[in-house]
Amino acid sequence: FFHLQALEHVNSRLLELYPDDEERFDIVLMTNNHAQVGVRLINSINHYGLTIERFCMTGGKSPIGYLTAYLTNLYLSADSEKVQEAIEAGIASATMFTANKDVAYSDTQLRVAFDGDAVLFSDESEQIVKEQGLDRFFEHEQLNENKPLAQGPLKGFLEDLGKLQKKFYAKNERLNCPIRTFLVTARSAASSGARVLKTLRSWGLEIDEALFLAGAPKGPILVKIRPHIFFDDQMFHIEGAQKLGTIAAHVPYGIAQKYHKSA
């Protein structure tokens, strides 16, 4: 479901540029199936021409305990309970939702889109929106424009993508980089966007494209971007993305979860 061809293309490009360097994407298939089903899984992987060398079959036990041992940078699963367990263990994680219609994706450029608050950043600002309203939020963001936001659960994954991008930049491949990142946020640029961009700068991170939607739906913009995966903390945005053909991943973190559960 995650477009592994694009990941494998990044790996092959890195191998060409850095033949002695092993810093590449390493995919681990984790399942709580028993080892006896391994042959069927291996046959399926080979049928689709994918290169997944690492398997973790736990025979009914939760695989979460193995994530730290595998030095996991990102855990994706369709099981929301396991994802919540991983988030609580401090591991970047999200629940995958397939798109409701087929859209063509690039096999030669991995495109990853992130929401901002409660995904790349903490939910500090979102707490103010939910509890005190938009006016207080705008006032708070302007007062704190030069104070970086705390990091959210996927900041480390963006950092990892940035490290790989810089390996291409170092070989004069910036314009031909096979990784592209997008910030897609409901924030307004004029009233609350500066703090976000200054936070990324303070972390030493670049994002290729930043789209401030000022409350407009994210789905139509994602159709234009065509990311292989879009991360958001609110199911409202996940469902809107799904309907228009984007593979979306829900990050169960922050105050929005409280409101979602009580809805």
Catalytic residues: 115
Distance CA 251, CA 109 (A): 23
Side-chain-side CA neighbours of 170 within 13 Å: the count stands at 9
Does residue 95 sit in helix, strand or coil?
Answer: strand
Distance CA 218, CA 207 (A): 18
Burial of 174 (0-12, 13-18, 19+ CB in 10 A): exposed
Sequence-separated (6 or more) residues with CB below 8 Å from residue 55:
28, 29, 31, 38, 41, 42
